[in-house]
Structure 1
Amino acid sequence: MTMYGYFLSCEEFTPHELLEQARMAEQAGFRALAISDHFHPWNDEQGQSPFVWSMIGALSQVTSLPVTTLVSCPTVRLHPAVSAQAAATSANLSDGGFRFGVGSGEALNEHIVGADWPDAGVRLQMLEEAVQIIRRLFTGERVTHRGNHFTVENARLYTLPDTPPPIYVSGFGPQAAALAGRLGDGFVTMQPDAGLVGQFRRGGGGDKPVLGGLKVCWDSDRDRAVKTVHRLWPNEQLPGELPQILPTPEHFEQASSLVTEEMTAAAGTFGDDPQEHLTAIRAFADADFDEVYINQIGPDQRQFFDFYRTSVLPELG
């Protein structure tokens, strides 16, 4: 049976708002949390970007729900050894309720340290090497590693959970789905693409969990909801590899100027009709996803949680 969770958007909300959303999500009946990991928001209108590892520590103290990063990049902005320490501490704090979602990253967040931004194939090689390092560190052994992309000298994690957190690998194409099947404890992808899920399962994923997510905008006025999404998240409609290679929020704003309200309206889930929300969510279950995380865009958070508590989650079982 598919599990339904709430997605905390670090790009749009302050730390205190995210903590309150986590509390409301648990009260509404969501069974898990996911959280984004960004240095920048996608655009200045979103306007926030708290440090995800601080947020996970705080979440462990205000909710009993498991938390998954969707997703962190453990290759450029943070070295794999530092990422491993952050993930191990998070798993320890949450009594094993932390899952480490990882991906190959976006220039938006990773270029800030001055490193060259490699092409997609190299980024996947870096991710594979990083995950191998992280898994070794999760054993508690002392690790020295000299690879194609990373060096580790005499590193050992002293604070570990009883069980290492599972590592879920993100991907949006066949090559990444195959890597996730071979390397990950699960697969993360944001579209209800049954073909991609099948490639993951055939590539070694088997019955490992597949996680997805979608953004919605509850509002009593559907047209107003469309305007809210078009103002805050037009980047959701940018095609292809653009989200991985554009380096600043200003570049995303320039590219997003080509996204019209009509394009936004045709691609999202808006308003207060439960059936529209249920149809969008069930598309993931129909595509063989195990977990689906829903994010409410805009300020109407309490109304959204009331709506899902009474009209959506009961219908999903």
Structure 2
Amino acid sequence: MTRIGFHASHEQIGPRQLLADVQHAERAGFAMAMCSDHLAPWSERQGHSGFTLSWLGAALARTNLEFGCVHAPGQRYHPTVTAQAIATLGEMFPGRFWIALGSGENMNEHVTDDRWPDKETRTQRLEECVDVIRRLLGGGTVTHRGLINLHEARVWERADPMPLLIAPAVSVESAARVAKWADGLVTINQPIDTLRQVIDAYRSAGGRGKIALQVHLSWAPTDTEALAIAHDQWRTNVFGAEIAWDLHSPEAFDEVARFVPPEALHDHVRISADVRQHAEWLAEYADLGFDDIYCHHVGQDQAGFIDAFGEHVLQAWKEN
């Protein structure tokens, strides 16, 4: 049966409150949680971006949930640092932590003052990172020269089981390419036909493991409020991948989003005051074959959403 999880949005909520939110989500019946590792939020209105890797230690210690994290090695993070973090969390919390390794976005990575590479170079750099991270997690001493460099690197902690290295992918092409190295796939809500193609591309290329979906949604007591929340908090996220990859700051995202109308959010966020409608949408995604679905309410106040979904969605989901 498809599991329903909670997305903890570091870009929108301060780490102290987010820790309370994820504990609340566990009490309400969410089965697991995930988050992203950003240095900057998508918008100045969001206004947060805590250090995800340290927050995860607290969240794993204060809940019994399984956690995942989307993370970009290669520029802001040397892959040795990434491997050490994975091994540490995996050793402390066996079987409860996975990481999705992506190629990153300029707004988080430009701070190193290194050139922001083109997409193909970023993808090749990620593939090198995945290879050396696996070798480091396996106990090897690694020297590597390429788009990333290591000299006799070794990670001394061993996690048993080794945390899964998941691939985040949105396009059909990316889903097929990551199949050669990924232990599973995570993607975001898109039109049903597109999601079906993403799943088929991953499986047809030999992709193994679970397939997960992060669903951006907005719930409030009225449809008007739900739409206003989505427009305020998520209108910077309605653009194509090229913009999301390459813009360098929250201010730049806010500038390009100035004229996005509220109705445009319906193409990117599931917006409704009706929890039955949200349950139907989740059931559509489950029917596609997703093993795990993570609900991301795009508002900054999570309490009402958690309570409403816990009572009206999660309870019915378990009974079906």
Letter in 2 for 1:298: G
Letter in 2 for 1:253: D
99 and 266 in structure 1: CA distance in 2 versus 1, 3 angstrom threshold:
closer
1:73 lines up with 2:68 in the alignment: no
Which one of 139, 151, 164 corresponds to residue 162 of structure 2?
A: 164
1:256 is aligned to: 257
Runs of 4+ in 1 over 3 A off after TM superposition: none
Give the RMSD, CA atoms, in angstroms: 1.4
Matched length = 314
245-254 or 209-218, larger mean C-alpha shift? 209-218
SS for the counterpart of 1:118 is coil
1:108 lines up with 2:107 in the alignment: yes
User: Whole-Å Cα distance in 1 between the matches of residues 141 and 263 of structure 2?
Assistant: 55
User: Whole-Å Cα distance in 1 between the matches of residues 170 and 51 of structure 2?
Assistant: 25
Which one of 174, 189, 212 corresponds to residue 187 of structure 2?
A: 189
TM-score normalised by the chain length of structure 2: 0.94
Query: How much does 1:266 deviate?
Result: 5.2
Q: Provide Cα deviations, 1:206-255, integer angstroms capped at 9, x if missing partner.
A: 4x211111122221121012111111110221124210111111110011
1:82 lines up with 2:100 in the alignment: no
1:11 is aligned to: 11
Identity of aligned residues (%): 33
2:204 is aligned to: 202
TM-score normalised by the chain length of structure 1: 0.95
2:226 is aligned to: 225
SS for the counterpart of 1:189 is strand
SS for the counterpart of 2:71 is coil
Q: Provide Cα deviations, 1:252-297, integer angstroms capped at 9, x if missing partner.
A: 0011113111212454323431222113222321222111100122
287 and 272 in structure 1: CA distance in 2 versus 1, 3 angstrom threshold:
same
Letter in 2 for 1:306: D
User: Whole-Å Cα distance in 2 between the matches of residues 240 and 18 of structure 1?
Assistant: 27
User: Whole-Å Cα distance in 2 between the matches of residues 276 and 236 of structure 1?
Assistant: 23
Quick check: 1:187–1:209 contact (8 Å CA) kept in 2? Answer: yes
User: Whole-Å Cα distance in 2 between the matches of residues 237 and 38 of structure 1?
Assistant: 18
User: Whole-Å Cα distance in 1 between the matches of residues 3 and 178 of structure 2?
Assistant: 20
Letter in 1 for 2:38: H
2:40 is aligned to: 40
Q: Provide Cα deviations, 1:161-208, integer angstroms capped at 9, x if missing partner.
A: 1221010011122331122211100011113501111000011114x2
User: Whole-Å Cα distance in 2 between the matches of residues 292 and 136 of structure 1?
Assistant: 30
1:279 lines up with 2:277 in the alignment: no
Q: Provide Cα deviations, 1:95-146, integer angstroms capped at 9, x if missing partner.
A: 2310011111111111111111111111111111100000000011222222
Unaligned runs of 5+ in 2: none
139 and 267 in structure 1: CA distance in 2 versus 1, 3 angstrom threshold:
closer
Q: Provide Cα deviations, 1:19-77, integer angstroms capped at 9, x if missing partner.
A: 111111111111111011100000100000001111111112111101100x1001111
34 and 133 in structure 1: CA distance in 2 versus 1, 3 angstrom threshold:
same
Letter in 1 for 2:151: E
